[in-house]
Structure 1
Amino acid sequence: MNLFSLLDQVTVLPNFVVGSKEELINALVDALEEKMESGEQLEEVHKAVFEREEIMSTGVGKGLAIPHAKTKAVTENLAAFALLKEPLDFDSIDNEPVRLVFLLVGPESNNSQHIKLLSRISRLMNSGSFREKILGCTSTEEILDAFQEEEEKYFVS
């Protein structure tokens, strides 16, 4: 599974403006609403992501955050991505604000795939040239194209 296949026109938020970490996470989870069968399911995803964030910030450094969770509420991996217009404090491990935020939600029953996807996000976003490319994007289409091109270079699904 590649990351590009998890993203679409609804789940990519370019030039996104938010006032807080909580508002950002809520917006990313809400972007998954079309993929949910019920409001209860969406609420469970919100709860799972915030519970995970309470354990330790998912601001991993280099301007990137990867909020994530596993939950019984979903049966497949879901993702959303935001490119923030302005840097936002995310309690990152390097104490730097974030502009790139990749949300990953997966089923509790598939731990190994969840870990592989988190690893793929980290490896992809660890590329300085890729981060710069994403930061230069101004539309959903540009972001989706950038993810697709980068994954085709490095990963074979």
Structure 2
Amino acid sequence: MEIKDVLDTKLMILDIKSQSKKEVVKELIKPLVKEGIVKNQDSFFETIMHRETLSTTGIGMGIAIPHGKSDMVTRPSIVFGKSKEGVDYEALDGEPSYIFFLIAVPEGSDNEHLKVLSQLSRKLMHEETRTKLMQATSEEEVIRVFD
């Protein structure tokens, strides 16, 4: 599974309005519910927030990659979100997060999401990638960053 295999223009929020970690997670889950990928918003939210108690997924450099495995998820998906203001996501470097990738995978699936997580992390280490994502004005531009 590649990043571009699970990126979908219907699962992108180019202007996140939320101001807190919990609000961002809720906002990122909404497109998954709308598209029928997540069956229960509250249950999946709890899954993500439980994962956050283990260690923050705010990896630094302005990036957060919340993720969760749940029987509420029907197929592996990634929601891309971007905040112009930045959000205190309790990132490892103490800086605000601007770029979000919420990874949702079904409970019974193998660890394919870890491969995607690894690919994302490697790609996002490059300042050029982060800059292109911040400058993207359309969903198609976001997808092109990963081509």
Fold match (TM-score > 0.5): yes
CA distance in 2, matches of 1:80, 1:91: 20
Task: Report which stretch shifted further, 63-72 or 9-18.
Answer: 9-18
Say if 1:103 and 1:38 are closer, same or farther in 2 by CA, change over 3 A. closer
Percent identical: 31
How many residues of Structure 1 are paired with residues of Structure 2 in the alignment?
A: 147
After superposing on structure 2, the runs of 4+ consecutive aligned residues of structure 1 that deviate more than 3 Å are: none
What do residues 5-43 of structure 1 show as CA deviations (whole Å, max 9, x unaligned)?
A: 32222211113222211111101011111332775x333
Deviation at 1:76, TM superposition (A): 2.2
Can you give the 5+ residue segments of structure 1 that lack an aligned partner in the other structure?
150-157
Deviation at 1:137, TM superposition (A): 1.1
Is 1:91 aligned to 2:90, yes or no? yes
Can you give the 5+ residue segments of structure 2 that lack an aligned partner in the other structure?
none
CA distance in 2, matches of 1:120, 1:32: 21
What do residues 37-72 of structure 1 show as CA deviations (whole Å, max 9, x unaligned)?
A: 775x33322121111112221100111000001112
What do residues 95-127 of structure 1 show as CA deviations (whole Å, max 9, x unaligned)?
A: 111100000011222242121111111111112
What do residues 103-157 of structure 1 show as CA deviations (whole Å, max 9, x unaligned)?
A: 001122224212111111111111211111111112222212223x2xxxxxxxx
The letter for the 1-side match of 2:118 is: S
The letter for the 2-side match of 1:16 is: I
The letter for the 2-side match of 1:133 is: K
The TM-score normalised by the length of structure 1 is 0.84
The letter for the 1-side match of 2:89 is: F
The TM-score normalised by the length of structure 2 is 0.90
SS at match of 1:15: coil
Deviation at 1:74, TM superposition (A): 2.0
Matches within 5 A, 1:66-77: 66-77=65-76
